[in-house]
Amino acid sequence: MTAATSPPHLTTDPETTERLRRCVLRAVAAAHELVRELRLTEPELHALVRFLTEVGTADEFMLLSDVTHTSILVDTLGQAADAGGATSSNVEGPLYRPGSPVLDTPAVLDHAEQGDDALLLSGRVVEAGTGTPVAGAILDIWQTNQRGLYENQDAAQPEHNLRGRVRCDAEGRYEVRTVVPGPYRIATSGGPVFALLTSLGRHDTRPAHIHVKASAQDHEALTTQLFIAGDPWLEDDVIGAVKPELVITPRPTELPGVVAPRRAFAAGFNIALRPVAGG
Ligand SMILES: [Fe+2]
């Protein structure tokens, strides 16, 4: 068979083909090892195939990757061993929406007062290693409200609520007025991954977090998540993605327009970006 007859979805790039070949051979070897070690029976093999078919039909393979902590393992190994003081990365998750509004700092992300506690998040974007401020860095932020709902999961929130691309000032500073996010469940569809977690006696809850994609000219982009100190799920994230260095500590404060029973908090977090090699 010649390359010209290859199906269009198969690569013919020699480097990619070699990588694919290596990955497949290793994956098959690992599968064979498991079959030998666990003495997998034929009915068990059929049950496994049925389960994986259900996962594919329900489009839950990424969810399966997350709950088996495979996604965070890929993320952690993908971050260069010599990160050079750069802020730790984290998984993007499925709820990023490109094209949210661009806002100059200080920015307001909370456009729907839902009784949530207010949060003033501020800090600086600097260059890893030198600490030089990164002027005009963009922080693309998205998060849930305090009940753990993203705006596109909640009819009560306006379009792009708790989302925004915040432009830092000339000193790399940013300040964002938002709300304290809440923990949320990730397998509420009740699909095959939820059934698996239930069978294993596991929950499907993530601790509260704020997603951030940081980008700036001449610097490597960073995708990460900030976690909230004191969250009851911090030690037991269903996707295992909590990194201690990414935990922020909101402290009580006063903010204009926030009256009891709402509370106001302030937290700081600096972001360090690696310069592009040779840049
Ligand atoms: Fe999330």
- CA 252 distance to own-chain centroid: 26
Left if phi > 0, otherwise alpha if psi is -120 to 50, otherwise beta: which for 15? alpha
The CATH number for 250's domain is: 2.60.130.10
Give the chain's radius of gyration (CA, Å). Answer: 22
In a domain, 112, yes or no: yes
Q: Measuring CA to CA, how many Å separate 1 from each of 5, 7, 16, 24, 26?
A: 7, 11, 19, 21, 25
| pLDDT in the model for residue 2 | 46
Range with the poorest average pLDDT among 9-18, 38-47, 136-145, 256-265: 9-18
Mean pLDDT of 255-272: 96
Distance from residue 148's CA to the centre of ligand 1 (Å): 9
Distance from residue 17's CA to the centre of ligand 1 (Å): 34
More confident residue, 15 or 43: 43
Mean pLDDT of 239-259: 97
Buried b (16+ CB within 10 A) or exposed e, 89-128: bbbebebeeeebeebebebebbeeeeebbbbbbbbbbbbb
Mean pLDDT of 188-217: 96
| pLDDT in the model for residue 1 | 43
| 146-191 per-position pLDDT tens digit | 999 999 999 999 999 999 999 999 999 999 999 999 999 998 878 9
Distance from residue 246's CA to the centre of ligand 1 (Å): 14
| 46-99 per-position pLDDT tens digit | 999 999 999 999 999 999 999 999 999 999 998 866 678 999 999 999 999 999
In a domain, 67, yes or no: no
Distance from residue 208's CA to the centre of ligand 1 (Å): 8
Domain range enclosing 266: 77-273
| pLDDT in the model for residue 12 | 77
Distance from residue 228's CA to the centre of ligand 1 (Å): 13
The token pair at 261 is 């029973």
In a domain, 236, yes or no: yes
In a domain, 59, yes or no: no
Can you tell me the distance from the alpha carbon of 59 to that of 95, in angstroms, rounded to the nearest whole number? 15
For the whole model, what pTM was predicted?
0.91
In a domain, 184, yes or no: yes
Distance from residue 94's CA to the centre of ligand 1 (Å): 8
Can you tell me the distance from the alpha carbon of 151 to that of 110, in angstroms, rounded to the nearest whole number? 11
Distance from residue 14's CA to the centre of ligand 1 (Å): 37
Distance from residue 210's CA to the centre of ligand 1 (Å): 7
Distance from residue 217's CA to the centre of ligand 1 (Å): 26
In a domain, 60, yes or no: no
| pLDDT in the model for residue 8 | 64
Runs of H (alpha helix) within the chain: 14-38, 42-57, 61-67, 70-78, 192-199
In a domain, 9, yes or no: no
Percentage, residues of the chain above pLDDT 70: 95
Can you tell me the distance from the alpha carbon of 45 to that of 30, in angstroms, rounded to the nearest whole number? 15
In a domain, 28, yes or no: no
The tally of domains found in the chain comes to: 1
